[in-house]
Structure 1
Amino acid sequence: MRWSTENLPPTQHFEQWREACRRHVYALSPERRGRGHFQGSISRHEQDELDVTDIRCDGHLVRRSQRDIDEQPGDTYYIYLQGRGRVWFEQQGLRCVLESGDMVIADPNIPFSTGTDQLFDFRLWRVQRRRLQARLRLGSTGLAMHRIEKTQAERELIANWLDVLLHQHEGLAPPNAEIALDTLHRLVASVIDQAAPPQEPVRRARRRALLARVQREVTRRAAEMDLTPERMASAFGMSLRALHQLFALSGLSFQEFLTKARLERAQALLRAPECGHLSTAEIGFEAGFAEVSTFYRRFRQRHGMTPGEWRVGTASEADMPTR
């Protein structure tokens, strides 16, 4: 089966893409900003239990919500193999970024989201749920999303076996085809079972370490007036929702932390002798505030005085003789 936007009216490309995904992939809820150019193609091969789909399309956001799952539950698990470019995945609070050659094994009956600003370019293998589940030791949360990096030997083994099945399946006698499929499910199950889910304290430590990395980057880029949660989420390969959840660990929202970082930068500039020629408004701009009124208001809320009053007070303290 081959499907493409190529011969469709441009205004219908994305809407038709939504429907094609529901018919040939899974029930999904693609989202896209704007109404500009969009191209996409789907190529699918099915034979007995062998099901492989190649997808190429312009970048956008994709969700599989609980409503999508209820409307069209899947009877498979999927193996996602990244082609060109870079995408992010989020499922059950787990996040990962896939580079070219990386692989993910996951359950389509657990809500997930994925997206890229570049191109979606991947191969999706569907394996029978009943076969794989019989070989897995699953907890109450089901099959957690499992990433296999391209450098891992297991990834190469699974990818090679999948390719052999794709190109040799038609020539195999039924008993041998059954053995080949069973071997695939054993390989995948063994890789998943090797990856025990991290204990909760470890998970929290990893999230706090990630939060610290993001906060350092926000502080470093605080002077950029156009710094937004969306840009920062994209820089770290996570969804906007995941970014906000991460900042919730600190007790400050993204915007509150960014404002704090800008005010601290403004304080440093107001104290710096080499910035004495700058007005307080110019200091605000240098610190990353796009509006002078916002700078003055936030500064007064934090210090109980205007930037100018704070600067004078700081200078007076510096001039006081030491004992």
Structure 2
Amino acid sequence: MVMEWSTQSAPPAQRFDLWREACSQHVYALTPHRRTRDPFQGTIARRQLGSLDVTDIVCDGHLVQRREQDIGDSPSDTYYVYLQRRGQAWFEQQGQRCVAEPGDIVIADPNIAFSTGTDGTFDFRLWRMNRAGLEPLLALRPGELPMRRLGRDQAARALMANWLDALLHHQADLSAQALELACRTLYALVADAVGASAAQREPARLARRRALLQRVMSQTELRSSDMALTPERVASECGLSLRSLHQLFELSEHSFHEFLTRTRLARAHALLRDPSARHVGTAEIGFAVGFKETSTFYRRFRQRYGDAPGAFRKAHAGAVERESTAVS
């Protein structure tokens, strides 16, 4: 469930004060400042994913401080991963300044005072992790983690961003156990990026491999309709050797070829259920999702779903029609 909050329904003169209260409730105790008297606009969307708290914020630009007084009044039991979605934002902490560009990630401890602002609009996603879950993985002691920016050219950022995207995309399909494993993998990726303790170096290496596998899977899903897609091409595009790619899939239940086939079949399954695609023949659907041979598509589809594509489409259309008749 997503909790959504907006300034839109509040009287213009009260919006910024209400925004300050909402940030303290849904983010951290902060001290916002704004010079202009123009009506303020801001939205917050918050959800829980296992042990992770995910908050999306879009609002007019202003200065935000988390002062020592704010920390003393309301210390946080989390660390956070900040993902810049659009525009730029700057951060200052302990005399250091960094600028986050779209796609950049900033990892930080909210119990170390900082300031942030933007000349445009704030548009970011905040992933908050329990301190109790992350601190045992870190080489640094509590209170010693400075802000770390992971730029778009850094491999650690690409792996972490892809893992976070996949976690949001697949959350509805994850069991509680799988979700907890995904959260632990994120914690290990964060620890690896900022400095993992000696005891956590092997778990961090495994987390990197899981995240790299997810990146390969995402790339394969995007390109699955390409009939010429091969493991060699995917490996090259992901900066891997062919052997390394196949070794990554040892972490999965399926080989590369099995994963590619199942991805294509899932897309065919969705198209056969889609009323807007009824004019497209079953053979054409097979070609559209990446199968070179109609016979291979039909055989694989029957093995996966227990029926031929045409019979599956007819049965689904009949079921939808009967349901519609019953409702009317």
Q: Please report the TM-score for the alignment, with normalisation by the length of structure 1.
A: 0.58
Q: CA deviation at 1:6?
A: 0.8
SS of residue paired to 1:44? strand
The answer for the alignment partner of 1:27 in structure 2 is: 29
CA distance in 1, matches of 2:142, 2:185: 26
Q: CA deviation at 1:153?
A: 1.7
Select the residue among 66, 69, 77 that pairs with 1:64: 66
CA distance in 2, matches of 1:66, 1:108: 10
Select the residue among 142, 145, 148 that pairs with 1:146: 148
Structure 1, unaligned stretches of length 5 or more? 195-323
Q: CA deviation at 1:174?
A: 2.7
Contact 2:134 2:187 in 1 (8 A): yes
Q: After TM superposition, what 4+ stretches of structure 1 lie above 4 angstroms from structure 2?
A: none
CA distance in 2, matches of 1:179, 1:100: 28
Q: CA deviation at 1:47?
A: 3.6
Q: Which AA in structure 1 matches 2:111?
A: N
The answer for the alignment partner of 2:180 in structure 1 is: 178
CA distance in 1, matches of 2:141, 2:133: 17
2:70 matches 1:73: no
Q: Which AA in structure 2 matches 1:117?
A: D
CA shift in 2, pair 1:145/1:183, >3 Å: same
Q: Deviations over 1:108-133 (max 9, x none)?
A: 01111001121101011101111111
Matched pairs, number: 194
Q: Which moved more, 1:92-101 or 1:18-27?
A: 92-101
CA shift in 2, pair 1:53/1:119, >3 Å: same
Q: Deviations over 1:253-275 (max 9, x none)?
A: xxxxxxxxxxxxxxxxxxxxxxx
Identity %: 57
Q: CA deviation at 1:98?
A: 1.0
The answer for the alignment partner of 1:191 in structure 2 is: 193
Contact 1:49 1:128 in 2 (8 A): yes
Q: How does 1:217-296 map to 2 (within 5 A)?
A: none
Select the residue among 11, 14, 34 that pairs with 1:12: 14
Q: CA deviation at 1:84?
A: 1.3
SS of residue paired to 1:2? strand
The answer for the alignment partner of 1:117 in structure 2 is: 119
Q: Please report the TM-score for the alignment, with normalisation by the length of structure 2.
A: 0.57
SS of residue paired to 1:35? coil
RMSD: 1.5
CA distance in 2, matches of 1:162, 1:70: 31
The answer for the alignment partner of 1:95 in structure 2 is: 97
Q: CA deviation at 1:139?
A: 4.8
2:109 matches 1:129: no
CA distance in 2, matches of 1:45, 1:140: 26
Contact 1:91 1:111 in 2 (8 A): yes
SS of residue paired to 1:122? strand
CA shift in 2, pair 1:95/1:134, >3 Å: same
CA distance in 1, matches of 2:143, 2:72: 17
Contact 2:49 2:179 in 1 (8 A): no
Contact 2:50 2:183 in 1 (8 A): no
The answer for the alignment partner of 2:55 in structure 1 is: 53
Q: CA deviation at 1:146?
A: 0.4
Q: Which AA in structure 2 matches 1:67?
A: Q
Q: Which AA in structure 2 matches 1:112?
A: F
CA distance in 2, matches of 1:177, 1:88: 32
Larger Rg: 1
CA distance in 2, matches of 1:92, 1:81: 21
Structure 2, unaligned stretches of length 5 or more? 197-328
2:169 matches 1:157: no
Q: CA deviation at 1:141?
A: 5.0
Q: CA deviation at 1:50?
A: 2.3
CA distance in 2, matches of 1:78, 1:47: 14
CA distance in 2, matches of 1:140, 1:15: 32
CA distance in 2, matches of 1:140, 1:12: 38
Q: Which AA in structure 1 matches 2:60?
A: D
Contact 1:50 1:166 in 2 (8 A): no
Q: Which AA in structure 2 matches 1:52?
A: V
Contact 2:111 2:143 in 1 (8 A): no
Contact 1:76 1:108 in 2 (8 A): yes
